[in-house]
Structure 1
Amino acid sequence: MDKIIDLLGQEAEYYLDHTCKTIDKKNIHIPGPDMVDRIWVDSDRNVRTLNSLQALYGHGRLANTGYVSILPVDQGIEHSAGASFAPNPAYFDPENIVKLAIEGGCNAVASTFGVLGAVARKYAHKIPFVVKLNHNELLTYPNTYDQIMFGTIKEAWNMGAVAVGATIYFGSEQSRRQIVEVARAFEYAHELGMATILWCYLRNNDFKNSGVDYHTAADLTGQANHIGVTIKADIVKQKLPTNNGGFTAIHFGKTDERVYSELTTTHPIDLCRYQVANGYMGRVGLINSGGESHGASDLKDAVVTAVVNKRAGGMGLISGRKAFQKPMKEGVELLNTIQDVYLDRTITIA
């Protein structure tokens, strides 16, 4: 706790002492060691999927806490390999990606068919694999924002993955096709006994108004989460909310004034609580993304995100660039510091 307080500095009280007076914590399904028995046993997930969920919850430094720390490295496709790995070229080699996840005490490593397939026989039994099914590749010119499938569910199953992940760009021109594709893929993944994780991202240039970017607005991202759990994501990944009022600002969709006056405030924890609520009040765990690396502030930024996520009722963090764009020792330290937030019992649900 001393390290966490030191990193938060003058903002420690703001984040650690906040009490959420919007959606009461009593209504949230808070992560715990009994997640499979308490949340998933009564669902339609088959026995093998329950085994996969337990394998995900039961690995790494956060094993059997109900919280997860996942290392995601799909940026070689999403942001180009050069842009992603130039800060640390060692991670052009897939084995180093998996080693970082293991050394960092992660619950799982999430990456591409190519990365995980290259080392599956050596590592699939040592750390849970999450195979990312689709990507937006940045070599097509002019670039368009679309997620396309890079492989099949059966391929992921054959390499021993316990889960698959996918992205939907909600709000984009291609989002409805992506919803159908991912829903079908998740159905087959569950049939084969794999868990499912959905990156519920927004993508539309019109989600900006008067210079304000609402791609991370609590109301819009909350709705993206709600669609994500509807197509049976077992975990949803979302960016931490940075503002609110996206529906009202862009004069689009339907909302209710109480979303802004009663269900949220401007505090980051309350905004994140709304994201959690849209995942069936936390039945489907919310993991927030760590975001891009900013250098010296990465450790503090990661701790802030972890504290906000945990105190809101979320399930953990999925942090990639902040970890792998550094020497492995520093990457391990960052991952461990994130995990320390979830291991610290004095950091409670707000």
Structure 2
Amino acid sequence: MAYQKIVELLGNDAENLLNYKSNTFSKDLLHLPGPDFADRVFVQSNRNQQVIRNLTAMYNHGRLAGTGYLSILPVDQDIEHTAGASFAKNPLYFDPENIIKLAIEGGSNAVATTFGNLAIVSRKYAHKIPFIVKINHNELLTYPTKYNQIMFGSVDDAWNLGAAAVGATIYFGSEESGRQIIEVSQAFERAHELGMATILWCYTRNNAFKKDGVNYETAADITAQANHIGVTIQADIIKQKMPDVNGGFTALNFSKSDPLMYSELASDHPIDLCRYQVANCYMGRAGLINSGGESKGPGDLANSVLNAVINKRAGGTGLILGRRAFQRPFAEGVEFLHTIQDVYLAPEIDIA
């Protein structure tokens, strides 16, 4: 019944997405999610036992426990987009405890939110669901508005409040990206020393990436290179926006590319665009979770299911979505998260 609901939500896209066979990177080359993912990938890495234990705790929590897939509830929009704009539709989330409750009731593997949100309820909930502390943010009180991720606390503080992992954002392509790469790579090194996993929001941001009405900040080639830098600084999990275009390097005439990137390693099919992102995460050794995006109304569920199918069939590790869940009534938000998780639980949906 769950699979049939997924097919119905996909509508006219069902045939194209569910039966597509990729001819770019063979799925045999990918390190795919599965119950033994940590043993296959991270046990042979430099990550210490505490990191592997915390990674495993996330993979083995919630409705997707033991599958190798992740469903994470991220709520940092109260800083990134202002609390009023984020919680006006559902004011109960001004109280951080309700964020944790939504993650638990929604069957999430983990909850990712701010230092303050987690610290104020850490003693009650740190042992009930894995915490991911978002350690840097872009704030919107500076006028005129600027876009610059800055640190909001220390990795040691995240460890002290019981975090299983830390998360951070780098705006690749921005003027401040060099400083952010240094700060985040140092923070991730410290997190690994303390035994916490690391998750990187690999976003690209530069007004020059927009040309002729096309926003190449979500181009497969540019976002995938951001992913590749992210795994280079030892992010265990990569969060990236779903690609909806390609050819950013060539259209903008910058950086370096090879024609094979567009003719052999990717096509214009959304699964292939996403697979190119997965390939740049060391062929899936670092799991790719795609972001849910902003809430736009009644079509959110169908669009999120579509993105989950693309991510799973491409070889990704899951979705991380917040606004589309917490900007709905609590019970509806729980059901929303369950429906997305059903994509990853459905054996009928395989790797393309």
Q: What's the TM-score bracket when you normalise by the shorter of the two chains?
A: over 0.9
Q: What is aligned with 1:322?
A: 324
Q: How far apart are 1:164 and its partner, in Å?
A: 0.2
Q: How far apart are 1:69 and its partner, in Å?
A: 0.1
Q: What is aligned with 1:233?
A: 235
Q: What is aligned with 2:212?
A: 210
- Give the letter for the 2:346 counterpart: D
> Any idea what the Cα deviations from partners look like across 1:117-138, whole Å, max 9, x if unmatched?
1100000000000000000001
- Within the candidate set 56, 71, 74, 1:72 is matched to 74
Q: What is aligned with 1:181?
A: 183
Query: Secondary structure at 1:169's aligned position in 2?
Result: strand
TM-score using structure 2 length? 0.99
- List aligned pairs for 1:17-28, cutoff 5 A: 17-28=19-30
Q: What is aligned with 2:252?
A: 250
Q: What is aligned with 1:340?
A: 342
- Within the candidate set 3, 16, 19, 2:18 is matched to 16
Query: Secondary structure at 1:196's aligned position in 2?
Result: strand
- Give the letter for the 2:219 counterpart: A
Find the aligned partners of 2:66 and 2:164 in 1 and give their Cα distance.
Answer: 16
Find the aligned partners of 2:147 and 2:314 in 1 and give their Cα distance.
Answer: 30
CA root-mean-square deviation: 0.4
Q: What is aligned with 2:104?
A: 102
Query: Secondary structure at 2:82's aligned position in 1?
Result: helix
- Give the letter for the 1:348 counterpart: D
- Within the candidate set 105, 122, 125, 2:124 is matched to 122
Query: Secondary structure at 2:74's aligned position in 1?
Result: strand
> Any idea what the Cα deviations from partners look like across 1:247-273, whole Å, max 9, x if unmatched?
001100001000000000111000000
Q: Are positions 1:113 and 2:93 aligned together?
A: no
TM-score using structure 1 length? 1.00
Find the aligned partners of 1:260 and 1:215 in 2 and give their Cα distance.
Answer: 17
Query: Secondary structure at 1:281's aligned position in 2?
Result: coil
Task: State the identity as a percent.
Answer: 69
Find the aligned partners of 1:35 and 1:4 in 2 and give their Cα distance.
Answer: 26
Find the aligned partners of 2:347 and 2:160 in 1 and give their Cα distance.
Answer: 38
- Give the letter for the 2:333 counterpart: G
Q: How far apart are 1:349 and its partner, in Å?
A: 0.3
> Any idea what the Cα deviations from partners look like across 1:80-103, whole Å, max 9, x if unmatched?
111100011111110000000000
Q: Are positions 1:53 and 2:55 aligned together?
A: yes
Q: What is aligned with 2:281?
A: 279
Query: Secondary structure at 2:200's aligned position in 1?
Result: strand
Find the aligned partners of 1:133 and 1:142 in 2 and give their Cα distance.
Answer: 24
Q: How far apart are 1:297 and its partner, in Å?
A: 0.3
Q: How far apart are 1:35 and its partner, in Å?
A: 1.0
Q: Are positions 1:63 and 2:65 aligned together?
A: yes
> Any idea what the Cα deviations from partners look like across 1:254-301, whole Å, max 9, x if unmatched?
010000000001110000000000000000000000000011001101
Query: Secondary structure at 2:208's aligned position in 1?
Result: coil
Q: What is aligned with 2:147?
A: 145
Q: How far apart are 1:161 and its partner, in Å?
A: 0.4
> Any idea what the Cα deviations from partners look like across 1:40-70, whole Å, max 9, x if unmatched?
0010000100101100101000001000000
Q: How far apart are 1:345 and its partner, in Å?
A: 0.8
- Give the letter for the 2:169 counterpart: T
Q: How far apart are 1:189 and its partner, in Å?
A: 0.1
Aligned residues: 350
Find the aligned partners of 1:211 and 1:304 in 2 and give their Cα distance.
Answer: 24
Find the aligned partners of 2:49 and 2:75 in 1 and give their Cα distance.
Answer: 29
Query: Secondary structure at 1:172's aligned position in 2?
Result: coil
Query: Secondary structure at 1:206's aligned position in 2?
Result: helix
Query: Secondary structure at 2:218's aligned position in 1?
Result: coil
- Give the letter for the 2:54 counterpart: S
Query: Secondary structure at 2:217's aligned position in 1?
Result: coil
Q: What is aligned with 1:196?
A: 198
Q: How far apart are 1:36 and its partner, in Å?
A: 1.0
Q: How far apart are 1:211 and its partner, in Å?
A: 1.2
Query: Secondary structure at 1:23's aligned position in 2?
Result: coil
Find the aligned partners of 2:178 and 2:335 in 1 and give their Cα distance.
Answer: 40
Find the aligned partners of 2:212 and 2:292 in 1 and give their Cα distance.
Answer: 27
Q: How far apart are 1:11 and its partner, in Å?
A: 1.1
Find the aligned partners of 2:118 and 2:297 in 1 and give their Cα distance.
Answer: 27
Find the aligned partners of 1:143 and 1:294 in 2 and give their Cα distance.
Answer: 23
Where does the alignment leave 5 or more consecutive residues of structure 2 unmatched?
none
Q: What is aligned with 1:302?
A: 304
Where does the alignment leave 5 or more consecutive residues of structure 1 unmatched?
none
Q: How far apart are 1:190 and its partner, in Å?
A: 0.2
Find the aligned partners of 2:140 and 2:246 in 1 and give their Cα distance.
Answer: 29
Find the aligned partners of 1:20 and 1:90 in 2 and give their Cα distance.
Answer: 44
- Within the candidate set 154, 157, 162, 2:156 is matched to 154
Query: Secondary structure at 1:215's aligned position in 2?
Result: helix
